[in-house]
Structure 1
Amino acid sequence: MRDPLAEFDDLFNRMGSLLETTFGTSPTAPGMPWTPAATGMAWSPLADFSETDDAYLIEVDLPGVKREDIDIEMTDRELVISGEIKERERTGTMRRAMRRTGRFEYRTMLPGEISTEEIDATLRDGVLTVKVPKAETTKPRRIEITSGE
Structure 2
Amino acid sequence: MADLILWRPLQELKREMDRIWQEFFGKSWLTERFESIEWIPAIDVSETDNEIIVKVDVPGVNPEDIEISLSDNVLIIKGEKKKEEEEKKENFYRMERYYGSFMRSIQLPCDVEEEKISATYKNGVLKIVLPKKPEEKKKVIKINVEK
Q: Does residue 52 of structure 1 match 2:45?
A: no
Structure 2 residue aligned with 1:96: 94
Structure 2 residue aligned with 1:7: none
Report the residue type matching 1:62 in the other structure: V
Structure 2 residue aligned with 1:17: none
Q: Does residue 83 of structure 1 match 2:76?
A: no
In the aligned structure 1, how far is the partner of 2:143 from the partner of 2:42? 44
- Superposed structure 1 runs of 4+ greater than 6 Å apart: none
Structure 1 residue aligned with 2:118: 120
After superposition, give the CA deviation of every residue in 1:102-133 in whole Å (9 maximum; x if it has no partner): 00111110011111110010000000000111
- Residue 139 of structure 1 deviates from its aligned partner by 0.3
In the aligned structure 2, how far is the partner of 1:111 from the partner of 1:142? 18
After superposition, give the CA deviation of every residue in 1:2-44 in whole Å (9 maximum; x if it has no partner): xxxxxxxxxxxxxxxxxxxxxxxx99xx936534x527xx532
After superposition, give the CA deviation of every residue in 1:32-71 in whole Å (9 maximum; x if it has no partner): 6534x527xx532101011111111100000011110100
Aligned Cα root-mean-square deviation (Å): 2.5
- Residue 144 of structure 1 deviates from its aligned partner by 6.1
- Tell me the SS of whatever aligns to 2:33: coil
- Tell me the SS of whatever aligns to 1:31: helix
- Tell me the SS of whatever aligns to 1:34: helix
Structure 2 residue aligned with 1:68: 64
After superposition, give the CA deviation of every residue in 1:62-98 in whole Å (9 maximum; x if it has no partner): 0011110100011120001111111111333222211
Superposition TM-score, scaled by structure 1 size: 0.69
Determine which structure has more spread, i.e. the larger CA radius of gyration.
2
Identity of aligned residues (%): 35
In the aligned structure 1, how far is the partner of 2:72 from the partner of 2:113? 10
- Tell me the SS of whatever aligns to 1:50: strand
Structure 1 unpaired stretches of 5+: 1-25
**Count of residue pairs the alignment pairs up:** 118
In the aligned structure 1, how far is the partner of 2:45 from the partner of 2:141? 28
Structure 2 residue aligned with 1:105: 103
Superposition TM-score, scaled by structure 2 size: 0.70
Report the residue type matching 1:34 in the other structure: R
Structure 2 unpaired stretches of 5+: 1-23
